[in-house]
Amino acid sequence: MIRTIAAVAAALFAGSVIAQNAICYNCPPEWADWASQLKSIKSKTSVTVPPDNKNSGQTLSQLVAEKASPVADIAYYGVTFGIQAKKEGVVANYKPANWGDIPAGLKDADGAWFTIHSGTLGLMVNVDALKGKPVPKSWKDLLNPQYKGLVGYLDPASAFVGYVGAVAVNQAMGGDLSNFDRAISYFKDLQKNAPIVPKQTSYARVLSGEIPILFDYDFNAYRGKYKDKANIAFVIPAEGTVIVPYVMSLVAKGPNAANGQKVLDHIMSDEGQAIWANAYLRPVREKAISKEAQSRFLPASEYARAKTVDYGRMAEVQKGFSERYLKEIQ
């Protein structure tokens, strides 16, 4: 009888723990300061969100694989993956707190996905790891033999930031979303310099000097410089680059939907948005950016080279580009 009571108590306790959880796919503590965001969510909502180190492509693949019996409650990914997730029917419509503050072009009209912050792609450079070599100023600079073995980019066929890099290079070299010849040609040329091509976020590898130059976002470079006190430079290449939103969704039929909604509401609150700003991102609710945070960005004159693109079209052509990259580059 005592064992039975103990078993029931243990089951009830386990159930209460699960009930206070929300599973997020792709909420990695080393990326975009999700570490602080997860702590804030726990403090303000009592919901525990375990860290998860998937990338955007892995997140979408797993959501599709688990469609009949979802494990996750919420998902975070690059905007093209949010658009694809709606097409796959793996996300639910949800309009979080402060929905009206999100510009129309940065959210799905029904709430299948919505922007929480954006980043500008460029070059995150560990100056010390260059050992006296000049900090590159352009995409074309990276083709110089002096940077052999020093350049990295995330796998464009899997990680969203990798695909953004391909779009940015393609646009910068005069291409567009209907033809990726310029990007493919660039990556073929870059292969001569033996690039490092990981599949997941490689922030720590840049700080350690293992990857001296990485195609990455401004927010990771600023974090390295100001928070981790590394000798990091962020470069917006001379030929130009792109600005890209990161979005979140409520998973369709997630096991803890109510908790997932609480988490999304908190992320869109003043406090949640301020965490992104303090992590050097552009929160979608721009009033959350303090003057102090703003002062750490490169001047507006530099950001003038960063452009938006047709994100719906970017999503449509992603699969075709990925297949071509795998065939011609890897």
Q: How far is the C-alpha of 304 from the C-alpha of 11, rounded, in Å? A: 57
Residue pointed to by tokens 């039975």 = 4
Residue pointed to by tokens 């929160």 = 283
Summarised one tens digit per residue, pLDDT across range 22-31 is: 999 999 998 8
Do residues 232 and 125 touch, judged by C-beta distance below 8 A?
Answer: yes
Per-residue DSSP letter, 226: I
Q: What is the pTM of this model?
A: 0.76
Summarised one tens digit per residue, pLDDT across range 201-239 is: 789 999 999 999 999 999 899 999 999 999 999 999 999
**What does the block give as tokens for 280?**
């050097």
Does the pLDDT value for residue 159 go beyond 90? no
Q: What contacts 248, CB < 8 A, 6 or more positions away?
A: 74, 75, 76, 82, 113, 114, 116, 264, 267
Residue pointed to by tokens 């997630």 = 254
**What does the block give as tokens for 231?**
């000798």
**What does the block give as tokens for 144?**
């110089």
Does the pLDDT value for residue 330 go beyond 90? no
